[in-house]
Amino acid sequence: MAGSNNSSVITLETTPTWAIAVVCFILITISILIEHVLHLLAKYFNKKRRKSLIQALNNIKSELMLLGFISLLLTVLQKPIAKICIPKDAAQTFLPCQSLTSDDVEEESKCEQQGKKSLISRAGVQQLQLLIFALAFFHILSCILTFSLGTLKMRRWKFWEAETTTLDYQFSHDPRRFQLIHQTSFGKRHLNFWSEHRFLRFPVCLLRQFYGSVYKVDYLTLRHGFIMAHFAEGTEFDFHKYIRRALDKDFKVVVGISPWIWTFSMLFIFFNANVFHSTYWLPFIPLAMLVVVGTKLQGIITKMCLESNYNSSVVRGNLVVKPDDQFFWFGKPKLLLHLMHFILFQNSFQLAFFTWTTYNYGLNSCFHHKTVDIVTRVVMGVLVHFLCGYVTLPLYALVTQMGTKIKNIVFTDGMISGIRRWQEKAKRKLAKRSNYLLAQNSLDNSLSLNISPSFKTSLDVTSSTNTENDEEIVDGQSQIQQHTEFGSFGGFHLSTFRAAQH
């Protein structure tokens, strides 16, 4: 039976060389085009000085290389895997379809003689290659589209940021004016009868994320609290650009597929067995997690307002909220980033698995028992994708900046280079002064009292020259000391720079 099957297989020995050349040419051309597109993207990001996006692009390249390595391993190990025999009873457990017989014969011929079946047939290994490729492709595509939607939604923040420099904004936020927190726009939005009751606050925050997830008053209040916590008062700071840089850095993390993400992908494949009835609950997990994350983010903004109200019910000028890690789960704002990563991946898995099953088996296969199964998977995948990019991601980008620690991307590359040059210059001046004082003390100790008049005259001239240099060093040292005493450099707290470096 196996021999007859082999006689009907067309190999490269009986395939025209021009056909092989054409296929290879097409594959090589596609690979070169993809490499060229990635190269152009890298040049564009480098021109725009988006280093985090360049690193994200490198992560994508690493994932593509890993995919190629996995595909190579599966190709090489197709026959050895098919020769692994398992009992027939084990082969009938956890099937994705309830009653379906296998028709592969070549890989199972040796196992059939032992009354067993192959672990995975050669055709199954080939289909597994497609599934892994589809999973990685949809994950990368989903991340890119999600962050594009989020960036589109956050464009309006640029106009809110520009408004903070106008005279109307400064007049409406006069620092000499006293008012109750309940009278402020931020207080009116978050201080209500439901605010202090957890069971009432949860449903309100849950519903609030779906209509205007980030209000203008929320953005301006959190922006003011961030600046007051990390910078000198009156500092002009572009909070919108800072959030954009922070989001670029987060994108570098989310676009990658880490080992624990690959582990969960194996679990998702396992739970697609028929006995688990995964169609009824697996597609809803990303949506449920996304709603919980959005509710938590809305709750953090409300808790910040409550905390300010507990400290003082009267505010002078702008309402100041205090950033603190205690508002986040387990005191770790970065945990939300990993949850977003998990949500995007699981949603990508749903879309990839649906595309893979449809391509290999069609819409009428056992993977799609009813029309409602198809509709559920597609609708949930698109809905989660849209909500994550247009609703939850902008909310996440704003609220996660309100942790205790500041991110190092608060400083642009130019600022970091300037501060480091200033530090190096200060160190050189201090070292020069120390060397001069050491040399002068050594010279004073070595000279005797009987010095010739000519040498004494030249020594006086040298001493006067060194005194001028010493005065310059003292002036530089006093400036350094002044910056240190005030604890700021150009409006930035030095402690902020040190914390950002760590």
Q: DSSP for 160-216?
A: HHHHTTSHHHHHHT-TT-EEEGGGSHHHHHH-STTTT-HHHHHHHHHHHTTS-SS-H
Summarised one tens digit per residue, pLDDT across range 300-356 is: 999 988 888 888 777 776 788 888 888 898 888 888 888 888 888 888 888 888 888
Tokens of 196: 């202090």
Give this prediction's pTM.
0.74
CB 181 within 8 A of CB 319: yes
The residue whose two tokens read 């000279």 is: 447
Summarised one tens digit per residue, pLDDT across range 86-128 is: 888 887 888 877 655 554 445 456 677 777 788 888 888 888 8
Ramachandran angles phi, psi of 116, nearest 5°: -125, -175
pLDDT (tens, 9 = 90+) of the chain, 502 residues, equals 344 444 456 677 777 888 878 888 888 898 889 888 888 888 888 887 777 777 778 877 777 788 778 888 888 888 888 888 888 888 788 887 765 555 444 545 667 777 778 888 888 888 888 888 888 788 888 888 888 888 888 888 889 988 888 888 777 776 777 777 787 888 888 888 888 888 888 888 888 888 877 888 899 889 888 888 888 766 778 888 888 888 888 887 787 777 887 788 788 888 888 888 888 888 898 899 999 999 999 999 999 888 888 887 777 767 888 888 888 988 888 888 888 888 888 888 888 888 888 888 888 777 777 788 888 888 998 899 889 888 888 899 889 888 888 776 666 656 666 666 777 777 777 777 777 677 667 666 655 444 444 444 444 544 444 544 544 444 444 444 444 444 444 455 555 545 555 5
